[in-house]
Amino acid sequence: MAMVRVEHLVKTYGAARALDDVTLEFPDGGFFGLLGPSGSGKTTLLRAIAGFVLPETGRVFIDDEPVENVPVEKRGIGMVFQNYALFPNMTVAENVAFGLAVRKVTEAEKKRRVAEALELVQLAAFGARKPHQLSGGQRQRVAMARAIVTQPRVLLLDEPLSALDKALRVDMQIELKRIQREIGITTIFVTHDQEEALTLSDRIGILKDGRLIRHGPPREVYDDPQDSFTATFLGDARIFSGTVEAGGLRLADGTLVPGVRTPTVAVRPENLHLSVAEPDLPCRLQARLGQKIFGGALGTCLLDWRGEVIKVLGRDADFRDLPESGPVWVGWRPEHSIQMSG
Ligand SMILES: Nc1ncnc2c1ncn2[C@@H]1O[C@H](COP(=O)(O)OP(=O)(O)OP(=O)(O)O)[C@@H](O)[C@H]1O
Ligand SMILES: [Mg+2]
């Protein structure tokens, strides 16, 4: 186990800043989820920590030791790449043993460690198979075994579950968390799937254009996103802008959102309530119901508010009695107004 810290990392490719002054700490034994749009620098950050990418400026520390002069294989890092490449002509066991290839371990020790790693990913009986004889999730687990067989201090996972379908992905999320807990390894995990990041991580960080926009415990960042990029990237949010007055925020249609002291406010779709009659909620506005979308247990309503869409998420049962279209009220409780600083 180890604590990882990066300080003022800058990496440019031509005119593009893949990392733009990133400073961040990854706690010892924690599960850190890195999120951000495509091209925001997630892979570059992992590669800089691993040592595949040399930053122009800034430093990487593992357990408070600077590692700029430590080569990749000596950093104590296990990595599962974005397109986890298994060798097709090698068996599962040989693929896992490959992680130990450059290390000085005896054959007996190698065998023992490979067996242990396969056990951990629940593939003990699969050692003799070839990758093409495995399912996607099993291949994924071989890649994991290969990364942990070296007993690394830090595990870097670059979208390890992106190739899997939804059901398998959820299974693998549980599996991943179990393995991480079992060996207590400091893990940095990149994903495009914000739900996945929220579920798995003790802390998350959000990158945009090579910059770290926000970081913290998932619930904290979700409940108080502070800027509109984070609010809409992590979860869904409707942003309202207006003019700040003594009593609150005055929107373009004259609606006063009480208590808000910033020019923009965000509201999560799950915190909006729909009704035909004017609701007894201090924050409310009138809109038109455009579309009701059935989604199983949960449903979505799309409203038209001055030509803009407001999305409302709720239990399907809550929407059943609403008309298909026409004027409706949408309301929310004042504590669900998220004031935006940017
Ligand atoms: N070897 C390279 N040469 C040139 N540009 C690169 C190289 N690697 C990354 N970049 C650029 O740096 C930026 C960040 O890339 P990076 O791969 O870190 O993004 P990412 O957040 O991992 O994206 P994705 O979610 O698509 O995997 C992008 O603009 C990318 O085009
Ligand atoms: Mg990437």
User: In the CATH hierarchy, which fold is given to the domain comprising 237-339?
Assistant: OB fold (Dihydrolipoamide Acetyltransferase, E2P) (2.40.50)
Distance in angstroms (rounded) separating the CA atoms of residues 159 and 174? 15
pLDDT beyond 80 at 111: yes
The atom of ligand 1 lying closest to the CA of 41 is: 18
Please, is 68 exposed, middle or buried when counting C-beta atoms within 10 Å of its C-beta (0-12, 13-18, 19+)?
exposed
Smallest Cα–Cα separation from 154: which of 40, 46, 10? Answer: 46
Distance in angstroms (rounded) separating the CA atoms of residues 120 and 113? 10
Rounded (5°) CA angle 259-262-267: 70
Ligand 1, CB within 6 Å, residue ranges = 13, 16, 18, 36, 38-44, 82
Q: Report CA(46)–ligand 1 centroid distance (Å).
A: 11
Distance in angstroms (rounded) separating the CA atoms of residues 139 and 143? 6
Least confident residue range of 98-102, 120-124, 189-193, 205-209? 98-102
Question: 135 to each of 33, 141, 158, 175, 177, how far by Cα in Å?
Answer: 25, 10, 19, 15, 20
Q: What is the mean pLDDT of residues 66-91?
A: 89
Q: Could you tell me if residue 136 is left (phi over 0), alpha (psi between -120 and 50 degrees) or otherwise beta?
A: alpha
Q: Report CA(42)–ligand 1 centroid distance (Å).
A: 8
Pairing of strands 264-267, 238-244: antiparallel
Q: What is the mean pLDDT of residues 235-242?
A: 93
Residues, the chain:
342
CA 231 from centre of chain? 14
Rounded (5°) CA angle 86-91-94: 80
The atom of ligand 1 lying closest to the CA of 36 is: 21
Tell me the pLDDT tens digit for each residue of 131-186: 999 988 889 889 989 999 988 999 999 988 877 778 878 888 888 888 888 889 99
The atom of ligand 1 lying closest to the CA of 192 is: 25
| pLDDT value at residue 342 | 66
Tell me the pLDDT tens digit for each residue of 243-256: 999 889 999 999 99
Q: Report CA(144)–ligand 1 centroid distance (Å).
A: 23
Least confident residue range of 211-215, 287-291, 295-299? 295-299
The atom of ligand 1 lying closest to the CA of 11 is: 12
What architecture is the 4-230 domain classified under in CATH? 3-Layer(aba) Sandwich (3.40)
CA 240 from centre of chain? 25
Residue in 42, 54, 82, 189 to alter for ligand 1 test, most ligand atoms within 8 A of Cβ: 42
Report residue 101 as tokens: 């290839």
Tell me the pLDDT tens digit for each residue of 88-100: 999 999 999 988 8
Domain boundaries, the chain: 4-230, 237-339
Spatial CB neighbours of 317, under 8 Å, sequence gap ≥ 6: none
Q: Report CA(82)–ligand 2 centroid distance (Å).
A: 6
Smallest Cα–Cα separation from 24: which of 44, 42, 6, 38? Answer: 6
Asked if 212 contacts 24 with a C-beta cutoff of 8 angstroms, the reply is yes
Tell me the pLDDT tens digit for each residue of 268-280: 999 999 999 999 9
Asked if 42 contacts 48 with a C-beta cutoff of 8 angstroms, the reply is no
| pLDDT value at residue 4 | 97
CA 283 from centre of chain? 31
The protein residue with its alpha carbon nearest to ligand 1, atom 28, reads 39
Asked if 27 contacts 182 with a C-beta cutoff of 8 angstroms, the reply is no
Buried/exposed 219-231: b ≥16 CB within 10 Å, e otherwise: eebbeebbbbbbb
